[in-house]
Amino acid sequence: MSARGRTIAAVCLRRAATAAWQARFGLRRGRAGREAAARQLRLACEELGPAFIKLGQLASVRPDVFPPEVVFELERLQDRVPAAPFAEVRAIVAAELGADPERVFASFDPDPVATASIAQVHAATLRDDARPVVGAPLAAGARLAVKVVRPGVEAAIAEDLAVARRWASRLARWPRLARWRPAALLREFEATLASELDLRHEGRKADRFAFDFADDPLVVVPRVVWRHTTRRVLTSEFVDGWRLSELGEAERAGIDARRLAAHGAEVFLRQVLVHGRFHADLHPANLFVTPDGRICYLDFGITGATAPDQRVAIAQVLAALVHGDADRALRYSRALGLEVPDERVEDVRKVVDGLVREHLIACEPTDVRGFALGFLGMLADFRIPIPEGYGLLVKALVTVEGVARAIYPDIDVVRTAGPFATRLVVAQLARPERLRERVPAALRAALRELVA
């Protein structure tokens, strides 16, 4: 075993032993034990560095595979590392852009404004006018954010993934872990990681998001400067603002936090239900509030997609949750791929009805996170497979609630989403092709009532 392999094994064993102790070696059963294990898994990922931090972040958007305690704990992964030496960053920029950064840009700050396991961001100034794919031109002198893949990170990730593959093959031999398909899941994660290491993919997703919301005066996406963007360098407009943890200062500056929180929830619904693609990795580091009262979205590395037929079903599920209709929510969940065995239907309906009443009807404001934890936990307990897109959507809704409440703590995301979801359901049902489908059934039902 390599030195790195021994390090990984030692960290994993130490964290596993700590989790076992915190769970009192099985005496603390249920959620408490799972939460202890999830916490140590997060700490292990942070300790092991870039590859494991990214694997943990990818696992945090897969509630179709991992228990809800693991999913929601891993979203707290801290991805902050010391800055790479500027000489090494300078060499990468020169190799990618064909000249030293001082020649490519009017100015280039050697001290990064943000650092993470995969890349770090430096402030710069645009030398010549630039025309982005979406949005108004950027004039010479505009402030820029230059994201640079950290030196040596590709080799370090490749080494760690080689170790992870060996561990995945061993874990697959354990019956309790084999159902997670560790080897196949790792291959999926590797493909996603490879895409994330190519910053051009992030730039294209940012442009699509900007295009989708070009008519929204409260949404801003930094404009990409493509002539200074390559696989390892992403150059975009620098946008000032407050992170969600700094919103006390924003409100003192006159920002309408409640309006922004409600609008942010509606923006997410438009992503899912209208455009069919959504930001699946929203957290305080990936969005902030600008001084002119807009929401700025960053980092489009992890996104989700919805097909047209799924959007109708999702809108119906949301409308059902708003009105506390568990039967309707389950009925339309089947259209999203959630298959409940016949012998479990009544048990599932009772649990969902109880969760709806506890977290969405009796709770003020509604508690999407509590509902999701209970719902995903119930599916795991009943061994009911969770479709990938369905699980990601549930997780994203919880994240949106957290983001909205970081902006305005008293917001009720479910009731805020209600009118939008209802309008969409009505619009979908009024489409000619849907009317042609439903009119015959409606006429037959009316005739039955008349002759009864």
Q: Which residues are part of the catalytic machinery?
A: 281
3-class DSSP string for 420-435? HHHHHHHHHHCCHHHH
Burial of 109 (0-12, 13-18, 19+ CB in 10 A): middle
User: And the tokens for 384?
Assistant: 């009911």
List own/partner pairs for 424-429 with CB under 8 A and 24 or more apart: 424/269, 424/273, 424/274, 424/311, 424/315, 425/312, 425/315, 425/316, 425/319, 428/311, 428/312, 428/315
Neighbours of 78 (CB within 10 A): 13
CA 339/CA 387 separation, integer angstroms: 9
The dihedral built from the CA positions of residue 61, 66, 69 and 73, taken in this order, carries a sign that is negative
Euclidean distance between the first and final Cα of the chain, in Å? 78
